[in-house]
Structure 1
Amino acid sequence: MTLPVLSLEHAALSLDGNAGRVDILHDITLSVAQNETLGLVGPSGSGKSSLLMLMGGLERATSGKINALGQDLGRMDEDALARFRRNTMGVVFQNFHLIPTMTALENVATPLELAGQKDAFSRAQAELDAVGLSHRHEHYPAQLSGGEQQRVALARAAAPRPKILLADEPTGNLDETNGAAIVDLLFDLRDRHGATLVLVTHSHSLARKCDRVIRLRDGRITEDTRQEAAE
């Protein structure tokens, strides 16, 4: 029996805010298989992004257990979590999170350099070329359009050849044309690297492309649907 790439058992998340303790996620139990594409959907404030952050070890569960690639994320300290993400995960955010003082090439190469990859810049060049930015290697984020910045972010996430790709509203800040192009690139990256893809989206068309869709409301899973023929 193949172990799931991601599994959560009775995971919960509570955060301290100005108004006191806020319960974000309640009793989340689910598993994600190797090479599966999972869409997380639901209204704003339902806990989609928080669930993605738990899966990536970017938030720590208040209770329950989270395993990624057989590793218990709850047992890792912050340094170990950072190394684990660097070596096994690619994360794409809605707001790109590029370093403004670095070129596109440097933004993609930096995580590879930190991981000790000797071919960091050649791999970064190859990933930028793969997302259609061969002419933008030396441009800074401020010189790039929103769609181009998201392409750089995709290249950066894919360059380490991660086993898990996590994407939080990857088309949320883009127009329809750029959004569609980013979706195609994201699924191409999944296929090229054989990665398991988990994404948060409000887009019905993007959700329909997923093998499986989890719907959340008020921090709870209300629906878990496997789609017979993802587009």
Structure 2
Amino acid sequence: MAETILALDGARLELMGNAGRVEILKGITLDVARGETLGLTGPSGSGKSSLLMLMGGLERATGGRITALGRDLGTMGEDALARFRRDHMGVVFQSFHLIPTMTALQNVATPLELAGAADAFERAAEELAAVGLGGRLDHYPSEMSGGEQQRVALARAAVVRPDILLADEPTGNLDASNGAAIMDLLFGLRDRHGATLVLVTHAPELAERCDRVLHLVDGRLAA
């Protein structure tokens, strides 16, 4: 039986809105196996991105329990969570979240530098070459297309060799051609590094490539 790398048991999320507390996620229970590719789909506002944020410890559950690699995320302080993400997770957002004053090479090397890796820039250069940007190391985000910026973001997420790779609408801001290329790169990173991939998507062609697809409606997993 496959090892469980991510487990949610009755995970809930409530946030304070203008009209009071809003229940975003209403008791999510699921297991994700090591090496699995899981797609999360559902209408806008159904809680997909919030669920991904809970998995990555970027948002704290207000109920239930979330474990990653056997660690209970709810019992970890902010510094411990940040170190855990740095060492074990890669996150790719729809908005690329690159540092505008840093080159592609510097952006990708940043998580390795924070981890104290002596070969941060060598590894960053290798990862950029792997996503087809070996000739763009010294370019700044403003000098790159959207597709190129997303490639940099993918390289930054993958350079730490994460056990878990989380992607939130990774093709949402791209045209069809760039979106297809990013899909191929995502699955290539999974295959190359053996990462477990969890992705939120509205794109049917991306969902079809996943091992399993779960559909969220109004904060709950649809039957």
Same fold by TM-score greater than 0.5: yes
| Maintained 8 Å contact 1:91/1:157 | yes
Instruction: Name the counterpart of 1:129.
Output: 129
User: After the TM superposition, which residues 55-134 of structure 1 pair with which residues of structure 2 at under 5 Å, given as runs?
Assistant: 55-134=55-134
Instruction: Name the counterpart of 1:186.
Output: 186
Identify if the C-alpha distance between structure 1 residues 2 and 203 changes in structure 2 by more than 3 Å, giving closer, same or farther: closer
Q: TM-score, normalised by structure 1?
A: 0.96
| Maintained 8 Å contact 1:43/1:217 | yes
Instruction: Name the counterpart of 2:11.
Output: 11
| Maintained 8 Å contact 1:3/1:70 | no
User: After the TM superposition, which residues 209-224 of structure 1 pair with which residues of structure 2 at under 5 Å, given as runs?
Assistant: 209-223=209-223
| Deviations 1:128-182 (CA, angstroms, capped at 9, x unpaired) | 0000001100000000000000000000000000000000000000000000000
Aligned Cα RMSD in Å?
0.7
Task: Write the letter of the residue equivalent to 1:65.
Answer: R
Task: Write the letter of the residue equivalent to 2:84.
Answer: F
Partners in 2 of 1:159 and 1:193 — Cα distance?
Answer: 9
| Maintained 8 Å contact 1:90/1:164 | yes
- 4+ residue runs over 6 A deviation: none
Q: Secondary structure at the match of 1:5?
A: strand
Partners in 2 of 1:92 and 1:82 — Cα distance?
Answer: 16
| Maintained 8 Å contact 1:38/1:212 | yes
Instruction: Name the counterpart of 2:170.
Output: 170
Gaps of 5+ in 2: none
1:3 CA displacement: 3.7
Partners in 1 of 2:2 and 2:40 — Cα distance?
Answer: 23
1:54 CA displacement: 0.3
| Deviations 1:26-52 (CA, angstroms, capped at 9, x unpaired) | 010000001000000000000000000
Partners in 2 of 1:31 and 1:188 — Cα distance?
Answer: 23
Percent identical = 74
| Deviations 1:70-119 (CA, angstroms, capped at 9, x unpaired) | 00000000000000000000000000000000000000001100001110
Q: TM-score, normalised by structure 2?
A: 0.99
